[in-house]
Amino acid sequence: MRTTDVQMQDGLLTIRRADRGAHVHLSLEGELDLSNVPTLEAALGVAIDSGKRIVIDLDRLKFLDSTGLALIVHTLRRTDAERFSFIPSRSNGVRRALSLTGLDERMVVASKEVPLPSLPPA
């Protein structure tokens, strides 16, 4: 059951938040970099405060710089890191950055059984 849908825009990044039952879905679209990481940090903080499991959907993320990578590292080092799962990006550049840093091997891939927020066509 959907309880909350929120969309935030910060420069080249769009964040969609959907609360569904025991999960919060944060869907990222566009580019995540130094200029907009604070917006994602704030959205992530609200999701963390919910106490629910969190799915971070990178499917439509096209670019990720070192500050975005650092945020993922920080998330994976949290004491409650088991609450987080990820949907991989379609972008070769994002997948390559995650692979080169080894983060792709540390990220739990979200189950396809978890209902995802509906997004408009790309």
What is the pLDDT tens value at each position of the chain, 122 positions in all? Answer: 445 688 888 889 999 999 988 999 999 999 999 999 999 999 999 999 999 999 999 999 999 999 999 999 999 999 999 999 999 999 999 999 999 999 999 999 986 554 444 444 44
Torsion, CA 39, CA 16, CA 121, CA 118, rounded to 10: 170
53 — alpha (psi -120 to 50), left (phi > 0) or beta? beta
Rounded to the nearest angstrom, the gap between the alpha carbon of residue 48 and the centroid of all alpha carbons in its chain is 12
pTM of the model: 0.86
| Per-position b or e across 80-95, b if 16+ CB within 10 A of its CB | eeebbbbbbbebeebb
CB of 95 closer than 8 Å to CB of 88: yes
Report how far residue 90's alpha carbon sits from residue 61's, in angstroms, rounded to the nearest whole number: 8
Residue 84 is predicted with a pLDDT of: 96
| Residue 112 confidence (pLDDT) | 52
**23 within 8 A of 86, measured Cβ to Cβ:** no
